[in-house]
Structure 1
């Protein structure tokens, strides 16, 4: 087994874009990397069984530019997760993350995701086993509880078990998940947020990396959480308002403030599109992830229209991306709050 990497990408502060099923594929991540050089990116959740029995290249391939990049696994069987980690190790991810937060019916049917908050001993066994074979850091992404559980009681015990298992980091979505009666979308919005509870968990374990997720929509909010937490994770806010990511390197990581080079971003996505199309792909595979760019800019509506309509047509090529960018007055910047 290869040795663990010396430099940790989980050195505070960390800004991460959350793993999102059907969204954070390699095309999305390559686009997001153009907007932020430092943000920690995550794959979609990949089920351990799929890695063991499925098309591994399709599931695990990524571009070198996507680093730092974490692979999120779904599963509840330590033996299968160990095999998945061993297989994925050849791809060179920077982190392996175990999903203990997704509330969807599909995930529950596989007995993993948020329902594992009811089985902390199972998660503990999984983390212990994964740690023994992983050449990189192993983390967990969880909720503060599910259904009728009392977070003040279950979350401290859950975290204690993870720490005891040797987990390298814990990302906590600061909401409960209701496994029956609420859709995944409603589970992201209806259960109340409890940031103070998550902050208290960090105070109990000052030496363990802990990040917070849920309801955070601006870099100002992210920085406020980072005064207490080691990391902050945004999901749909970063996806639907991708321009937010252009401020991450300066606001979070302290890089010099520089004007965004939109022409370089446009050119890079056009070149990526040309290669993808040459390999048999379609332009929309990329452009569907770009629609959230330029929120608040003059011309943003036309930008979205072009990427949503023209890019889906048969034979659509990289020039569609250039046409969309040309509609935006990037020099003027946002004309209203994004």
Structure 2
């Protein structure tokens, strides 16, 4: 019999992954998935290894290990992939000798997913897990005190489902695509000296692909349609502050420029007015001259918060001086 990737998957599908992992680990059921304390990294006091019986896959949110039954056997019992393949074949009553060894080893190497312990190389778990809003619930439902002290209301923080990842010392929140589907988790470091330590200020916990969405769109869309206007900030913090002031038609582009996917989304939404409210260090001339902004002008009225009176300090968001100042800046916005 010629060895094929399809055959490899067919054999793996004969294994009950819950039964396999449950032989050595204590299972905790949450919805349609199961969680266990990961045996492949230290300090996993709260179960972070998720098992999806529907997909017959597993993934650890703490160290990145995963994802097939072959990977489990390799890591758990320190076996090579050919040895793991033979183990699984024997488990389901298949004869591994019927496969040409050179082909089997080659294909097994192609399917091998290296154990990944570095957070900046997180795998795209959506390929093999049913990614749902429940994943954000693994983080502590606790409001960050430092954000409360920055004029963000508890109601606004809860609206954006802000939580805390104490293990990574990050403030986290869910990421949704343009259709409102949950696609990941984003975290902002709580360490003030992150630059000196070489840490990223923001990071996506899972790969999200092209940025063709806006942070906060899911919360803001009803008010955007009602007001026929949208305010685009750089960061999600600005959206949360504005929400607490009753200004709920705001979204975050995450940077001081729009991606091609974001431009297409704005055109699709058909919003009559788009207000650019990026941080004060962004030069107005670079916004006006941006070809993407020029494209949007054919579909919407574009306005820019300019701060001509120099009210804001350098690198300040328009909301950073408080509600009164922001409303002044908003009322004095410049139309292109």
Larger radius of gyration: 2
Same fold by TM-score greater than 0.5: no
Tell me which of the two structures has the higher relative contact order, counting C-alpha pairs closer than 8 angstroms and 6 or more residues apart: 1
Q: Structure 2-normalised TM-score?
A: 0.25
